[in-house]
Amino acid sequence: MKPKPRESYSAEFKAEAVQLVLARTKTVTQIARELGVARQMLHAWVREVQLSKGKPPSEVFPGHGKRPPDQSELEQLRREVAQLREDNDILKKATAF
């Protein structure tokens, strides 16, 4: 049995879903059913918007697997630090001989 392909939602769809949740006219569960998304996913989208402090939805939800520039830079720097630490450990061991 093949796994279900992962759904992809546009920034506009996410922003509209968050607006529906924040309007509080229906419960999150009702909105999730109507939109065909998981309730937990809606909560995560609302959390992202609230933490973004007024950024436009295109920045809050970059979509299609793209990460915000600061996130990808942070990951790159962490990889570099890990590599440099490993190199440093190797050099320490080599000088011990």
Closest of 53, 76, 64 to residue 13, by C-alpha: 64
What mean pLDDT comes out for the span 14-24? 88
Res. 82: pLDDT tops 70: yes
Res. 79: pLDDT tops 70: yes
What mean pLDDT comes out for the span 69-86? 88
Predicted TM-score of the model (pTM): 0.56
Res. 65: pLDDT tops 70: no
**How far is the C-alpha of 26 from the C-alpha of 73, rounded, in Å?**
39
pLDDT the model gives residue 66: 60
For residue 70, what pLDDT band results from cuts at 50, 70 and 90?
Answer: confident
